[in-house]
Amino acid sequence: MPKSTHFSGQPLYGQVIKLLDKSKILDFSRKNGGERYTKRFNCWIHLTVMLYAVMMRFDSLREITAGLLAETHRLSHLGITFKIGRSTLADANKRRPEAIFEAIYRDLYATYRHVLSPDSRSGKTPKWMKRLHIIDSTTITLFSNLLFKGVGRHPKTGKNTL
């Protein structure tokens, strides 16, 4: 029985991972300084962990690490053969430059644009792709210290600060 080129019967996570090229991802990471000061948690593992977290709809590092711990035997074929701690994941999210993930996205788009494009006849890059920027959506608390300085009670004495 010949193997099908379609993805029927395979989990969604496996289908997405098959579209990625590990050597290209590690090359993008080395070029952008993402493999500096890392021992085992390289960019490939970081990307697979973050894709896993997105697909499982996890909201916190605690959920991600607990989910990975439960699925360790299933993810060993991806190179995740060790327990990933919250601090390891937090450090990687903080230190690894976003330019790596931008390069991965642009490479994936260039590779699969003919599949995604509504008009497969055009070989040109769309205008919107040239203007595309990836934005970090983490919450920034700019003035919380100034606005709420005098409100509430003192943490040690319990007296009202007003």
CB 59 within 8 A of CB 67: no
Alpha helices in the chain (DSSP H): 12-18, 22-31, 43-55, 61-70, 72-75, 86-95, 98-116, 127-130, 144-147
- Over residues 64-91, the mean pLDDT reads 84
> d(Cα 162, Cα 147) in Å, to the nearest integer?
13
Note the pLDDT of residue 72.
79
Give the list of residues 6+ apart from residue 116 with CB closer than 8 angstroms, or none: 109
pLDDT for 120 beyond 70: no
Note the pLDDT of residue 62.
92
Note the pLDDT of residue 1.
46
